[in-house]
Amino acid sequence: TSSIRMGVAWLQTDPSAPLLSFNASLISSQPSSSLAELVAILSAIYVAPINAT
């Protein structure tokens, strides 16, 4: 069985906030854009301030 590597990444570029970046690779035998999108969304929620809108 071959494995497929998917990646997600984001970069915070607001000059008034600290520079933040994130990247991750997911390895799966059944690639899914939904899985990559879910990881990206969860990582952004994890680092977002509590009062973010």
Residue 27 vs residues 4, 13, 20, 38, 46: alpha-carbon distances, Å: 6, 28, 24, 14, 21
> What is the count of structural domains for the chain?
1
Domain membership of residue 40 (yes or no) is yes
pTM strictly above 0.85: no
User: What is the span of the domain harbouring residue 35?
Assistant: 4-47
Q: Are 22 and 10 in contact (CB under 8 A)?
A: yes
pLDDT tens profile 17-27: 888 888 888 88
Q: Are 1 and 19 in contact (CB under 8 A)?
A: no
Domain membership of residue 53 (yes or no) is no
Give the residue carrying structure tokens 């973010």.
52
Domain membership of residue 21 (yes or no) is yes
Domain membership of residue 10 (yes or no) is yes
Domain membership of residue 20 (yes or no) is yes
User: Within a 13 Å sphere around the CA of 44, how many CA atoms are in the beta-carbon half?
Assistant: 13
pLDDT of the residue at 1: 60
pLDDT tens profile 1-53: 688 888 888 888 999 988 888 888 888 888 788 887 888 888 888 888 888 87
